[in-house]
A and B are shown apart, each in its own frame.
Chain A
């Protein structure tokens, strides 16, 4: 058996893979939180619940015949859910923005956090009423089942898929914000929404769509996560706190910072599991505390505020 720093290589690569997967989810979720914070100045605590919602929509779609028996509804699988569920969550996000979020834009940022904590409680509580705290299984799609033995580790296809898709989505989102016209409107609106509006751009509509997009991203992440983690009402609960820490580490509102620190912290967390398992749950928070001491604006802090 090959040992690296006294650890079997299988354990090391296995945890690295787990870390990379977690990192992919952290990056996708932090990306949404960073966009919403950067563009709308809203601390979207309900992001974790929206991620859970995405996973549940995928699960509902798969189980339509059981949920509505007798209607002859078909079961809708992973690939359609991957498109449909984020759209549903996008719609829910638009509604939440319209009903609640836009009422706190002009208030201190703290109120956005309090408001979204409340929304989190409502969403999670509602799902707990029906599903308790137990998890619902969601199978890996046929096409991505199995994996390949690389000798030093077993590489499941689905996990490779998650990492690749996460990278692609992160890059596409970054590109949209930093390199396209719509992104330019968004960046400008972050700096001076009143002026951008006076140029003829419907800023309130744009903010609504941006919130919907960030939330839709959470829904998408939820579908991606459904086959790996169980679909349960509490699945976003601890995750959102980690994601907030990741966003703080990356520099609040920094898109690139959120993506990089998402992957980076996932891997660090995986490595910690190998070398010091007891600290693996807290390592991200400890890193956050250290980063705040040495680089108060985060790793890639664009806005110091």
Chain B
């Protein structure tokens, strides 16, 4: 397998080169078109959020990067290597990990089995100890059935298990949805830790007040298109506009 991260330093230089380049990405659910023409860039070590309303195409963008959409077109390049046409399992092996919106915890697996399910794809992932430091709740519940955990614990498990894999690009789909404020803060701290470790994160969010505490840049998605983008520094000046986009 071609290890794209081996060449990372030559491309990335001083943290500015594009890690992921998406051009004119289209995707369909059956006959209905979910993405029209998504274009966006993510640089090494960045935390980027995709903002937008329900059904705008944020989750579909993540699933398309991951190769989980059956029908997609356009271009998704990871360090210049085209991902369109790659099978989903091959994409994961290139060092991308995905945490789905519904958390995807398996009920027939214990917490420990859920945690160790995704295979290690690269060196440099977190050890189980480090994951338990981030999410102490998981440590005591290793032999519980996966879906017997609370919603917050399931979310921690869903994030924790992909941190083991050594993936350098982490895709998080609405990790704070429906969770208590204390847990949302905990997840926020975890995302900052990932950034300190030099991981790249794409975060799908509806809540830009949460997103602006973590992210470097934001893209706004509407009707399957990127309609706006801004750096985090530009957010305060654009609050009204963002509120209008998100309908809050």
Contact = CB atoms under 8 A, between A and B. Distances in A.
Q: Determine direct contact between A and B, CB below 8 Å.
A: yes
A203 B89 contact: yes
B183 interface: no
Interface residues of A, number: 19
Interface string A177-190: 00001001101101
Interface in B74-114: 87-89, 91-93, 97-98, 100, 104, 106-109, 113
B117 interface: yes
A184 B87 contact: no
Interface of B: 66-68, 87-89, 91-93, 97-98, 100, 104, 106-109, 113, 116-119, 121, 162, 165
Nearest to B91: A198
Contact of A187 (B88, B100, B104, B106): B106
A190 B100 contact: no
Q: Which 4 A-B pairs have the closest CB atoms?
A: A200-B92, A199-B118, A187-B108, A184-B113
Given A190-B108, A199-B97, 7 more contacts: A187-B106, A191-B107, A192-B104, A197-B87, A199-B92, A199-B165, A202-B89
B160 to A, nearest CB: 13
Contact of A191 (B92, B108, B165): B108
A198 B106 contact: no
A230 to B, nearest CB: 40
Contacts, number: 61
A195 interface: yes
A192 B106 contact: yes
Given A184-B117, A188-B117, A192-B104, A198 B109 contact: no
Contacts of B165: 199-200
Main SS of the interface on chain A?
Answer: helix
Contact of A194 (B88, B91, B117): B88
A181 B97 CA distance: 19
Contacts of A194: 68, 88
Contacts of A302: 108
A201 interface: yes
Contacts of A201: 89, 119
A302 B88 CA distance: 29
A195 B108 contact: no
Nearest to B112: A184
Interface string A88-132: 000000000000000000000000000000000000000000000
Contacts of B98: 195, 198-199
Nearest to A178: B108
17 contacts: A185-B117, A188-B106, A188-B108, A190-B108, A191-B106, A191-B107, A195-B100, A196-B117, A197-B68, A198-B66, A198-B67, A198-B88, A199-B119, A200-B92, A200-B118, A200-B121, A202-B89
